[in-house]
Amino acid sequence: MPEQLLFAMEVTLNGLMAGVLYALVALGFVLIFKASGIFNFAQGVMALFAAMTLVGIMDGQVPFAHLINATFGTDIHHFGWHVPALLAIILTTGVMVLLAIGVQKFVMGHLVNQEPIILFMATIGLAYFLEGLSDLMWGSEIKKLDVGLPQGINETIDQVTYDLFGYGFFIDNLDIVATVIAALLVVALVLFAQYTKQGRAMRAVADDHQAALSVGISLNFIWVLVWSLAGFVALVAGIMWGTKSGVQFSLSLIALKALPVLMLGGFTSIPGAIVGGLIIGVGEKLFEFLLGPALGGATENWFAYVLALIFLLFRPQGLFGEKIIERV
């Protein structure tokens, strides 16, 4: 096989893996949007907040250390202990559930029946609040996150492909793990939505609020539940991105990449979020590989948005979104 084709295959594989991470963020958006019609601009910041909290807990960092020290003239930064990764993840999940309860109680609970644009604005406010809170709680320096996920080149794939084609594929172990975890997460979410009482209630709320009330479903409870789920998905995305490129504030920008993913996949479809993520991931990598040199490079920065724009022109509801039918 020619070298170029093999290289393209490698790029495609890497694109698929990157797409999984986009899909993870997009998934959080879809969950909340489906159940409450809220487009949660804060999803990316939630991933950042979750990752920061996880690192903070693992390293035994004192939350609000700077604030405490500045107020009381103390000099404390660390508790002096280290929390094992698994326990820290469980604790962070707890924090995300508390966050969900807080969001519902103090923000969304007061905005029931408001226009979507108002809810959207509220989530922008929430994004800024969370960003500030993350900074205040855990500091703004770039942190290393290591929960024990394997990293670096996968030797087996490198070896096997070298033996087969005479060209070793470079696939990062972390990407493989991310793909597996994302797949498990999606399967778990689908099982939850289809087969549990709460999942059924969640789908009911997503479909019709009035009808849901009439069969005894508490909207408040369901909204806390979906914000918690979205928080958990944000945590998983935060772990993956954080492990890959360090926990830093630019993490919140991955939310922007999730927008074209959603436009492609449709805002209301879980499979859509996944397929959309994969298409964007592969698309931007392949585009850069094929046309990048001719266009002066750095096409990854804009490719996703242009693709989304084209989709908006020809299929505004996305690949899997609900078709908008206007009855006259």
Give 93-149 as a DSSP string: HHHHHHHHHHIIIIIGGGGTT--HHHHHHHHHHHHHHHHHHHHHHH-SS-B---SS-
* Binding status of residue 210 toward other proteins by CB under 8 A: yes
**Interface pick for other proteins out of 4, 218, 245, 250 (rule CB under 8 A):** 218
C-beta of residue 143 within 8 angstroms of C-beta of residue 246: yes
Is 113 a residue that touches other proteins (CB under 8 A)?
no
Question: Which lies closer to other proteins via its Cβ, residue 294 or residue 327?
Answer: 327
Candidates 124-132, 171-179, 200-208, 309-317 — which segment interacts with other proteins by CB under 8 A?
Answer: 200-208
Q: In this structure, are residues 142 and 250 in contact, taking their beta carbons and an 8 Å threshold?
A: no
**Closest to 247 measured CA to CA, from 256, 255, 238, 258:** 238
* Total residues in contact with other proteins, by rule CB under 8 A: 21
Minimal distance in Å, beta carbon 309 to other proteins? 29
24 closest CA partner among 209, 186, 214, 203: 186
| Residue number with CB closer to other proteins (225 or 235) | 225
To other proteins, the closest distance from the beta carbon of 210 in angstroms equals: 5
- Output the six-digit token pair for 232: 């958990």
Residue 75 vs residues 1, 43, 129, 138, 159: alpha-carbon distances, Å: 63, 34, 26, 15, 52
For residues 45 and 236, which CB has a smaller minimum distance to other proteins in the complex? 236
Contact between 77 and other proteins by CB under 8 A: the answer reads no
For the record, the structure tokens of 269 come out as 């479809």
Given 27, 35, 201, 279, the residue binding other proteins (CB under 8 A)? 201
The structure tokens listed for 217 are 């479903």
| Complex with other proteins: residue 147 or 219, whichever CB lies closer | 219
Alpha helices (runs of H) in the chain, residue ranges in sequence order: 3-36, 43-58, 65-72, 85-102, 116-138, 155-165, 173-195, 197-207, 209-214, 219-245, 254-265, 270-295, 303-314
Answer yes or no whether residue 326 interacts with other proteins by CB under 8 A: no
In angstroms, rounded to a whole number, what is the distance separating the alpha carbons of residues 307 and 300?
Answer: 11
Smallest distance from other proteins to CB 191, Å: 9
> For other proteins, which stretch binds (CB under 8 A), given 108-116, 212-220, 241-249, 296-304?
212-220
Question: In the bound complex, what is the minimum distance in angstroms from residue 208's beta carbon to other proteins?
Answer: 5
CB of 176 to other proteins, least distance (A): 27
Asked if residue 214 binds other proteins (CB under 8 A), the reply is: yes
Contact residue for other proteins among 141, 216, 294, 327 (CB under 8 A): 216
Residues 160-199 that bind other proteins (CB under 8 A): 195-198
Distance CA 144, CA 248 (A): 9
* Lookup: tokens for 80: 């002096």
Q: Smallest distance, Å, CB 124 to other proteins?
A: 29
Q: Which residues 6+ apart lie within 8 Å of 65 measured at CB?
A: 76, 77, 139
Q: Which of 2, 141, 215, 323 binds other proteins (CB under 8 A)?
A: 215
Shortest distance (Å) from residue 271 CB to other proteins:
14
4, 84, 208, 291: which one binds other proteins (CB under 8 A): 208
The label of the residue with tokens 């499979």 reads 271
Helix, strand, or coil (residue 171): coil
Q: Toward other proteins, which CB reaches closer, 227 or 289?
A: 227
Binding site for other proteins (CB under 8 A): 195-198, 200-201, 203-204, 206-208, 210-219
